[in-house]
Every structure is written in structure tokens, then in C-alpha cells.
């Protein structure tokens, strides 16, 4: 793999991604407005990211082979080009708004622990149960204190899958069908219990269930998590700490772990002061 050594041309910091009538996405177009207070961090941050030396320091050969696609004969990390972040909305301003553009965001999770910034090791922290916490935040309700995914004799991986498949689905049936498709690939014996699992999970979190299956809810969640991400980046940059976001997780030099954790707590509570986020 080789990095793109050329300086990237300036890209619009705000973009709109439109969909055609067939559901195919068009090329992003610039969003013509001034940056808001949160988005202003993108200007100085992109300057820092452009000069940041990001590499991979693999500890052994097995890590390399684990991230090689032997069928296609190529690395699972397809490229190491792109260092500028932009905020991308879907269809219209305020709809979504997540940050994209840095090649690290496309890096397989199995490789990310070995990323270095300017030759120094990094650490990645993420918000646990982010989408579920945001749903509770939208209702101004404090989430339960116990494990949100812990159900007797049910692997919590399926409880997490239910949330993932539910958020963004158009209907309950679509969410359950998506869950079944995942079970077919990994645990077909659980197929008869897909609907049971679904109902168990959402009975426990029924106070936010009515927010599901609405397109505006998914767009609102993405807007909220991207706003939090921008605030994390701004807090860190104010301390001269460069960070690369991956939606609800963040990568910094390992020496800045405490500052990152503090910034993530502060940014989340700036929107939802009564909720204590889970960070891991």
C-alpha cells in the first residue's frame, strides 16, 4: 500500500448527498452556507490532518494475513489516500451530517489498533450504546443503570444486532427480516426465535420504541452524533490534540487517552446534561 503523496485539493466542508429516483446516490454537491459554530473546527483540524503522519505498525505477520483478502488477492485496506474531513448531509441540510473523508475511516477494525500518529501509538475510544442513549436523550429520559443488552440466556450480540437493525428500518417487519438475514449467515438455528428476541429487547426499551421506523428519527440520530463528534474534535484541538473520528469512536495518540475521555463526556453532556455516557 502506498499513500497518496499529492496535496489534496480543497473540498467543500459541507456537502449534500442526493438520491436518484432509483435509490442510487449521486455525486455529493457543495452545501452553500457558512459553517456553524460546531463546524468551524473543520478548518483548523483539516490543516492539522494534512500534516499528520499516519502509519501502520503491525506487530507480527499474522495481523497482516488476517487483514488480507485471499479470495480477491488484495488487502482489506484498499487505499491510504484522503485526509480531509467534510460534513455530509443526506438530501437536505440538517439531515444526517456525519463526517467523512479520511482514509483511516475505511481502515478495517482489525488494523486500527496498530495505527500510529507521527510515529506514536494511538488509542481508540467509542461511545457504547450510542444510538440507544441518543434515543433516550431525545425523550429526555435517563437510560436504565444496568446492562442495556443483558438478557437471560441470550447472547448480547443479538441484542445489539436488534438495535442496529431497528434504527433506520422503515418497518418492524423490515427490521426483523434484516435480523433473520444475519442469523442465516451465522446462527441459523436461532431463526425461529428472531421475533421473540426482537420483542424482548424492545419491551425492555419500550419508552423509546415509538421513535423507530421513522426516517426523520434516523436522520436526527445521525445529526446528533455528528454534532457531538464535532464538539469532541473542537475540545481536543483547543488542547492541540489531533483526532480522527469514526462516527461514534475517536482515535488519538495514546498519551492523550485521558483528554479524549474527558472531551467525549463533556461533548455528550453538552446536549444531554442528565445522561452519563458509556465510553470504552
Instruction: Tell me the residue length of the chain.
Output: 280
Name the residue among 149, 130, 133 with its Cα closest to residue 208: 133
pLDDT at 205: 95
Distance between CA atoms of residues 232 and 138, nearest Å: 20
pLDDT at 215: 78
Distances (CA, A) of 112 to 121, 152, 244, 249, 251: 11, 33, 11, 11, 9
Give me the tens of pLDDT residue by residue for the chain, a chain 280 residues long: 556 555 556 789 999 987 665 655 566 899 999 999 999 999 999 999 999 999 999 999 999 899 999 999 988 998 888 999 999 998 899 999 999 999 999 999 999 999 999 999 999 999 998 999 999 999 999 998 888 888 888 998 999 999 999 988 999 999 999 999 999 999 999 999 999 999 999 999 999 999 999 878 888 999 999 999 999 999 999 999 999 999 899 999 999 999 999 999 999 999 999 999 999 9
Distance between CA atoms of residues 247 and 245, nearest Å: 6
Distance between CA atoms of residues 236 and 218, nearest Å: 27
Q: Is 210 exposed, middle or buried (0-12, 13-18, 19+ CB in 10 A)?
A: exposed
pLDDT at 25: 55
* 3 state DSSP class of 266: helix
DSSP conformation letters of 34-72? ---TTGGGHHHHHHHHHH--EEE--SSHHHHHHTEETTT
Cell matching residue 14: 459541507
Cell matching residue 49: 490532518
pLDDT at 79: 86
pTM of the model: 0.91
Cell matching residue 140: 429526555
Q: Is 48 exposed, middle or buried (0-12, 13-18, 19+ CB in 10 A)?
A: middle
Name the residue among 225, 230, 221, 223 with its Cα closest to residue 40: 230
Amino acid at each position: 500500500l502506498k499513500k497518496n503523496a499529492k496535496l489534496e485539493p480543497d473540498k467543500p466542508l459541507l456537502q449534500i448527498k442526493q438520491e436518484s429516483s432509483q435509490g442510487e446516490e449521486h455525486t455529493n454537491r457543495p452545501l452553500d452556507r457558512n459553517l456553524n459554530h460546531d463546524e468551524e473546527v473543520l478548518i483548523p483540524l483539516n490543516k492539522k490532518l494534512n500534516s499528520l503522519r499516519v502509519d501502520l505498525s503491525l506487530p507480527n505477520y499474522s495481523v497482516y494475513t488476517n487483514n488480507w483478502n485471499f479470495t480477491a488477492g488484495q488487502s482489506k485496506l484498499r487505499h491510504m489516500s484522503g485526509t480531509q474531513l467534510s460534513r455530509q448531509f443526506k438530501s437536505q441540510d440538517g439531515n444526517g451530517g456525519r463526517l467523512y473523508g479520511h482514509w483511516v475511516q475505511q481502515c478495517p477494525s482489525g488494523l486500527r489498533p496498530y495505527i500510529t500518529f507521527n510515529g506514536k501509538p494511538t488509542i481508540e475510544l467509542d461511545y457504547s450504546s450510542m444510538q440507544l442513549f441518543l434515543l433516550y436523550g431525545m425523550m429526555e429520559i435517563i437510560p436504565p443503570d444496568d446492562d442495556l443488552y443483558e438478557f437471560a440466556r441470550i447472547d448480547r450480540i443479538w441484542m445489539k444486532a436488534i438495535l442496529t437493525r431497528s434504527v433506520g428500518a422503515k418497518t418492524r417487519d423490515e427490521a426483523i427480516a434484516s435480523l433473520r438475514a444475519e442469523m442465516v449467515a451465522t446462527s441459523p438455528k436461532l431463526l425461529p426465535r428472531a421475533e421473540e428476541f426482537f420483542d424482548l429487547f424492545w419491551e425492555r426499551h419500550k419508552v423509546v420504541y415509538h421513535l423507530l421506523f421513522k426516517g426523520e428519527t434516523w436522520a436526527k440520530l445521525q445529526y446528533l452524533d455528528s454534532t457531538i463528534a464535532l464538539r469532541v474534535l473542537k475540545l481536543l484541538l483547543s488542547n492541540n490534540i489531533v483526532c480522527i473520528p469514526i462516527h461514534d469512536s475517536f482515535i488519538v495518540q495514546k498519551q492523550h487517552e485521558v483528554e479524549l475521555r474527558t472531551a467525549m463526556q463533556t461533548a455528550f453532556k453538552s446536549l444531554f446534561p442528565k445522561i452519563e455516557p458509556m465510553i470504552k
